[in-house]
Structure 1
């Protein structure tokens, strides 16, 4: 059985002890994609280099599939299915055909990342936002600003309120840190 083709029952549930993938997963995947898709990237000359990039892309695809657990979206499921289909194809033997296959595979993985970002499951910024568990979690960029209700959702899932309080994705609360009134400061 292919590792990329696990039964749906195995993919849908995550063992309770397993943590969600780190946000740096996207950065590592983008580095691998840059080897294939960037125009300035050096050409992969040897069969060993090409095999290595294909294996890395397959590994990234498996990890990205785990990042999608919990919130199924039709667009994301379709992107994952398309990328898995390309991953399962036999790698051609001719150099130009291999390059074409590699670009197709990398493009499919890039589409999966775009869908994960659209679903709000991973950070899509070039400098990744701090995770919700970090002490500086409020430094994340705003994903959705809702001034009519006085809060904003940050990229890492934290809800930050106008009174400077926060609600963490885990349900934790960060108390508001309002400045002291003038009378309290002068006395």
Structure 2
């Protein structure tokens, strides 16, 4: 499938009827810090009950591990808060009612510390992805410069 280079503002060819253009909008990306804070609140909140089944514990642990991975990508590697959270994520969920709940609380506390660190320090600065037309323009400019240079070289 070949995508058009022309922005979709309406029917470009001026035809009436026929197929309409389909535009796809991206859903706004949810902030990882807010999502992690909500999951931590599910575990550590004052009015949050303990998970009833082992499946609930596994689901919450899976969510918290995902948040640690997402937040870890936004922080510098090697900080103690991140290392502690990653160490807890690498451990398996202990068997038994109380040990599994204690592990879940420890994982939630480590995630909460990581959230606080990300909010305090802020994410790493990432380069903004250039638009495709900027890249095409840069390639065209380089090609044109090479053509001008090749034409200016004396022939022998």
TM-score band, normalised by the shorter chain? 0.5 to 0.7
RCO comparison, higher one (Cα < 8 Å, 6+): 2
Is 2:123 aligned against 1:121? Answer: yes
| Rounded Cα–Cα distance in structure 1 between residues aligned with 2:120 and 2:46 | 25
Aligned length: 99
2:96 is aligned to 94
RMSD (Å), alpha carbons: 2.3
TM-score, structure 1 length as denominator? Answer: 0.48
More helix by share: 2
- Pair 58,73 (structure 1): closer, same or farther in 2 beyond 3 Å: closer
- Residue pairs, 1:27-46, within 5 angstroms: 27-46=34-53
CA distance in structure 1 between the partners assigned to 2:77 and 2:66 by the alignment: 22
Query: How many Å separate the matches in 1 of 2:122 and 2:82?
Result: 16
Segments of 4+ moved more than 2 angstroms: none
Give CA deviations for 1:27-81 in whole Å, capped at 9, x if unaligned: 111111011101201221011111000000111111001111xxx386xx11110
CA apart distance, 1:118: 1.5
How far the C-alpha of 1:23 sits from its partner, in A, is 6.3
Unaligned regions of 5+ residues in structure 2, if any?
1-28, 129-156
- 1:106 counterpart residue number: 108
Which structure 1 segments of 5+ residues have no match?
Answer: 1-21, 123-156, 158-168, 171-187
1:110-149 map, 5 Å = 110-121=112-123
Larger fraction in strand:
1
